[in-house]
Chains A and B, each alone.
Chain A
Amino acid sequence: MSPIEIVLWVAVPYVSIIAFVAGHIWRYRYDKFGWTTRSSQTYENALLRWGSPMFHLGILMVLAGHVVGLFIPREWLYAIGITEEMYHWGATVMGSFAAVLTLAGLAILIYRRRTVGPVFLATTVMDKVMYVFLALTLGFGTLATFVHQVFGSGFHYRETISPWLRSIFGFQPQPELMANVPILFDLHVLSALALFALWPFTRLVHVFSAPVGYLFRPYVVYRSRDDVQGTRAPKRGWDPISTPDPQRLRRP
């Protein structure tokens, strides 16, 4: 175990997890007002109409896949009759499909961000940073899948990466499990850890307000003036709301 491996596979993950959890708590307390998707649909819908659902459906499938692949020990799946071959085949086919969908959606979204004037002007620095790490994570992940799983001999991440990740969450880190993981998977994991550390400071916080409660509440909501009095001392929003910079307006 070289020190660098300890840093990469023990220190970095914990730093990332702490930043993720503490960051969300801090942001929620400090900036409820900034907790939004910051939808840009009013500016443009022709591209968003395709890009956003493709990206979101894709990424939700990818997330579900990761939960199964990383957090459910394969012995459990064997127990319900899902063999290694079945899993490998299913994960690769569905994973590739989801990856293509997500990446295509992401490409549309990024293209739109850059080329549609109003959307570009409404893009914050954190948006850009977020897109870099999101794209890196997705890119390396897809590349790893294609290189090793689709065209290669198949890398058994459920023997290495998955138990390593579970060991992190079990507070018994086993960095040695990551010793022989191909570089593409390493990069995928590291860029994902960076993305998680940035997560609370980007618009990605919207993921944690996914409105499932809508399905169970009555249609019309009543509140008393007394219990809202939404008049707490206003706090500064995360993304400052200001008039567009005249210098930027002047951009040719």
Chain B
Amino acid sequence: MKVMAQISMVMNLDKCIGCHTCSVTCKQAWTNRTGVEYVWFNNVETRPGVGYPRTYEDQEKWRGGWKRTKRGNLKLKDGGRLWKLAHIFSNPKLPEIHDYYEPWTYDYDMLLNAPAGDQIPVAKPRSLLTGEDTKISWSANWDDNLGGSLETMQDDPILQKMSESVEAEFSKAFMFYLPRICEHCLNPSCVASCPSGAMYKRAEDGIVLVDQDQCRGWRMCVSGCPYKKVYFNHRTGKAEKCTMCYPRIEVGLPTVCAETCVGRLRYIGLVLYDADLVAEAASVEDEHALLAAQRSILLDPNDPAVIEQARKDGIQEDWIDAAQRSPIWKLIQQYEVALPLHPEYRTMPMVWYIPPLSPVVDVVSGSGADGEDARTLFAAIEKLRIPIGYLAEMFSAGDPDPVDLALRRMAAMRSYMRGVNLDGEGDERIARAVGMPGEDLQEMYRLLAIAKYEERYVIPSAHAEQAHDLEEMGCSLDFEDGPGMGGAGPFGSSSGQSVPVAVENFQSLEARQTADRPSSPGRVNLLNWDGNGTPRGLFPPKGKDVPQGDMGPVQSTGKRNKGKDV
């Protein structure tokens, strides 16, 4: 047994309202640059729909992920190493820009500089690739809310797997949103496809990253990832992907998408897993058994044997503690309501989803029945085979049972809690029907409905003390009072050499920003002032009785509000 820790996420699809806040904040944080205009580390798809890039789930076409060979080994679905190298000069499975969309801007200048005329000037769309006028015909969420889906929906790879006759009625009855980030897989096929070894999985927290200095632009990772979550920066010629906001995670903050999620439906935490068993679990023959196999390699953080081995494998106490408090562990393993996206790709994805019950509830309430009654809901889940089939294709390789169980538990929670709220106690029969004690249902309800920030995000900080011999400490902190030393650079707070993203710097920066005295002592000129304290000579004296110390009167600017809700 080799215990490793993995940062992972669970999203409760029941609560996603498809507002795209996560996509937008992520884009602002990471991909608002040239070359990555079309890149959405976080995107939200309306399902049924073709997804982004279009039909990425059709692995017969894109050949991402792994396949099991006859001898029971895993091989990249696209072909072995030699095959990859032989096709390096032009990668036959690389999506073109038109499989995403052609990025554009608008000719805003026209609005300001158009000569006076009868018509109101318009800003025409312009392609960011060619500079020519362009017709916008697709984007990252073109079929949002099933808009225009009648034309494209039949291309949804999952619908194509299912029978055709249900489609029309289906779109009326059933729709949900699927926010997607990189899965930070336990068995990442992107990493395995990278010829130059520039992609790696971090040993400490399992985050999958691209080393920008080592990437040589062979673009094999893009086609290797079945979720198409590695993108090619067409300006720099290098691959980029969701970073799980590692600079935030390292200091214990949730990712930007999670932090800003309007529905507060994202959970982040650690899981411990047995790294020795990953390959075995990813190569079980029966696709339906993949989910159970993946669950089986996640280790119980409360098991003394696991704890002991974790310590031996160098996992720190606070990380073990975080793993024990992890909401992820509970949702995946204890309540079994969270399911992985497309386990059949055999990459062992680590962003899991609670399938949406709301479409079922909508149908039930829409028909005038009681949408909170357990028996009605169970019956509806039973009857609505189409949504179940669809969800099963997404979250359990086509096996309806896990989806069925997850939805029943969600339904049970709903009506059990109605009992608690209206009658003062829940109906234990409901709990028993889904194989969970009533207290567990209540606990699950707490976690899903009212959990606070600290319970939704249990993220231990990275261990900076292990990193004392970092090479860049020399260069980022090497000047007296430099940004790294807790002081401003020569020309105010953001001057000086650019500061590398690292916990150490984050903490000193935060200390400085929340300090109640200026970072550069002595007389401060306005250009250098970083807004903290009131340096001498900057403001007119307030009154005669104010003592005139060296620093002048120091007014606290207060601790920075850490932005934690509730």
Contact B131 A33 (CB under 8 A): no
Min CB distance B527 to A, Å, is 23
Contact of A221 among B82, B92, B187, B197 (CB under 8 A): B197
Q: Within 8 Å of chain B (Cβ to Cβ): is A90?
A: no
In the bound assembly, the distance between CA atoms of A249 and B104 in angstroms comes to 11
Question: Which residues between 200 and 235 of chain B lie within 8 Å of chain A, taking CB atoms?
Answer: 200-205, 209, 211-219, 232, 234-235
- Dominant secondary structure of chain B at its interface with chain A: loop
Min CB distance A245 to B, Å, is 9
Question: Which residues between 458 and 486 of chain B lie within 8 Å of chain A, taking CB atoms?
Answer: 462, 466-467, 469-472, 475-476
Contact B466 A231 (CB under 8 A): no
Chain A contacts for B192, CB-based, 8 A: 219-220
Residue of A nearest to B75 (CB): A219
Contact B90 A221 (CB under 8 A): no
Chain A contacts for B201, CB-based, 8 A: 220-223
Contact B236 A233 (CB under 8 A): no
Q: Within 8 Å of chain B (Cβ to Cβ): is A117?
A: yes
Contact of A230 among B188, B191, B212, B467 (CB under 8 A): B212
Contact of B90 among A32, A53, A219 (CB under 8 A): A53
Contact A37 B218 (CB under 8 A): yes
Contact B236 A45 (CB under 8 A): no
Chain A contacts for B96, CB-based, 8 A: 41-45
Q: Within 8 Å of chain B (Cβ to Cβ): is A229?
A: yes
In the bound assembly, the distance between CA atoms of A9 and B279 in angstroms comes to 58
Question: Could you mark each residue 241-252 of chain A with 1 if its beta carbon is under 8 Å from any beta carbon of chain B, else 0?
Answer: 111100011110
Q: Within 8 Å of chain A (Cβ to Cβ): is B196?
A: yes
Contact B234 A220 (CB under 8 A): no
In the bound assembly, the distance between CA atoms of A172 and B215 in angstroms comes to 40
Q: Within 8 Å of chain A (Cβ to Cβ): is B145?
A: no
Q: Within 8 Å of chain A (Cβ to Cβ): is B497?
A: yes
Min CB distance A91 to B, Å, is 25
Q: Within 8 Å of chain B (Cβ to Cβ): is A224?
A: yes
Count of B interface residues, CB-CB < 8 Å: 69
Residue of B nearest to A50 (CB): B90
In the bound assembly, the distance between CA atoms of A228 and B131 in angstroms comes to 38
Contact B197 A36 (CB under 8 A): no
Residue of A nearest to B82 (CB): A215
Contact A122 B217 (CB under 8 A): no
Residue of A nearest to B468 (CB): A226
In the bound assembly, the distance between CA atoms of A44 and B219 in angstroms comes to 14
Contact B202 A117 (CB under 8 A): no
In the bound assembly, the distance between CA atoms of A248 and B131 in angstroms comes to 7
Min CB distance B552 to A, Å, is 35
Residue of B nearest to A224 (CB): B203
Chain A contacts for B476, CB-based, 8 A: 231, 233
Contact B236 A237 (CB under 8 A): yes
Contact B97 A43 (CB under 8 A): yes
Contact A41 B475 (CB under 8 A): no
Known contacts A38-B237, A42-B232, A241-B235, A117 near B129 by CB under 8 Å: yes
Q: Within 8 Å of chain A (Cβ to Cβ): is B490?
A: no
Contact A52 B132 (CB under 8 A): no
In the bound assembly, the distance between CA atoms of A39 and B216 in angstroms comes to 9
Q: Within 8 Å of chain B (Cβ to Cβ): is A156?
A: no
Contact A56 B89 (CB under 8 A): yes
Question: Which residues between 309 and 337 of chain B lie within 8 Å of chain A, taking CB atoms?
Answer: none
Chain B contacts for A209, CB-based, 8 A: 196, 216
Q: Within 8 Å of chain A (Cβ to Cβ): is B195?
A: yes
Min CB distance A90 to B, Å, is 25
Min CB distance B487 to A, Å, is 18
Contact B216 A222 (CB under 8 A): no
Q: Within 8 Å of chain B (Cβ to Cβ): is A66?
A: no
Could you say which of B188, B215, B235, B497 has the most chain A C-beta atoms within 10 Å of its C-beta?
B235
Q: Within 8 Å of chain B (Cβ to Cβ): is A83?
A: no
In the bound assembly, the distance between CA atoms of A32 and B234 in angstroms comes to 17
**Can you show 6 pairs from A to B with CB atoms below 8 A apart?**
A42-B219, A49-B90, A215-B81, A225-B205, A232-B475, A244-B131
Interface residues of A (CB under 8 A from B): 32-33, 35-45, 48-49, 52-53, 55-57, 117-118, 121-122, 206, 209, 211, 213-215, 217, 219-226, 228-234, 237, 241-244, 248-251
Given contacts A121-B130, A211-B197, A231-B502, 5 further A-B contacts (CB under 8 A): A33-B213, A36-B238, A38-B217, A41-B219, A231-B476
